[in-house]
Structure 1
Amino acid sequence: MKIAVSSQNQTNVTAHLGRCQKFWVYDVDETTIQNKQVLQLTKDQSFHESSPKDSHPLDTVQVLISGSMGRGLARRLESKGIQPVITSETDPDTAITTYLAGSLVVSTPEDHAHDHEAGNDHEGECGCNQETI
């Protein structure tokens, strides 16, 4: 199974999935990490910039873990057969191991406030279903 974790700085789980361009992609079995590598997206490939209708480099993962995402982005992932997982865990490796153990503390997209920078006019393209401030 493949699990991606948003990690813009390659150290912590990134909070805003829509703008993230760096992901750890883990190959795992039922209980352990087999391999891990960084996937670098271009700005155009970020979820905020890309179309839900197009193929995406993360389409091959079964689970995507992030610090936050909007309901629209969660639905976008689900429509591609990817389980969206939101957690407050900040360490990517710990997020994976606790997910595999079934003990990762998760929340739903509705639990997260989704702030956009003032002047960000993406008109819902990311699927976050939030109005700009």
Structure 2
Amino acid sequence: MRIAVAVDKSFSLVAGHAGQAKRWLVFEAAAGERPREIDRIELERLQVFHHFQDDVPHPLDGVAVVIAASAGEGFGRRMTKRGVESVLTAESDPLKAVTDHLERTLAPPRPRPISGLLCKAFDLFSKH
């Protein structure tokens, strides 16, 4: 199974706001084995999910799960339509986030009362 994690500029920390994430680590996770990084993807502006039109292939096509620190409801709906599970977490280490997700021990996301409201407002006017 392939799992993509939204990451920061250094590709070392789980990033927030999945819909705006430009950088992603892709892991291959086989049963009973430690997940391994297989790709580092840097999206072009129009490939970032907030701007992406779903009528063309995407560099993250083929992943089963995406993990990020935060995401709006529109992002979650969009991933569901693409057949991708969207998972949010407070874990900052990408490999640990993938490992913990597979073991069903992933830390839940941090509460985001104000930014959550902003995301909901932006989702009302977003294409996704």
- TM interval, short-chain normalised: 0.7 to 0.9
The Cα shift of 1:94 comes to 0.7
**Does the 8 Å CA contact 1:52/1:76 hold for their aligned counterparts?**
no
The Cα shift of 1:91 comes to 0.7
Against the structure 1 CA distance between its residues 106 and 52, is the aligned structure 2 distance closer, same or farther, given a 3 Å change threshold? farther
Corresponding position of 1:88: 90
Corresponding position of 2:49: 47
- Give the root-mean-square deviation of aligned CA atoms: 2.6
Instruction: After superposing the two structures, state which structure 1 stretch, 16-25 or 32-41, moved more.
Output: 32-41
Identity %: 28
The Cα shift of 1:114 comes to 5.4
User: Match of 1:78, SS?
Assistant: helix
Point out where structure 1 has 5 or more consecutive residues left out of the alignment.
Answer: 128-133
**Does the 8 Å CA contact 1:12/1:91 hold for their aligned counterparts?**
yes
**Does the 8 Å CA contact 2:18/2:70 hold for their aligned counterparts?**
yes
Point out where structure 2 has 5 or more consecutive residues left out of the alignment.
Answer: none
Aligned residues: 122
Correspondence 1:64 to 2:81: no
Corresponding position of 2:116: 113
Alignment partners' CA distance in 1, 2:73 and 2:54: 14
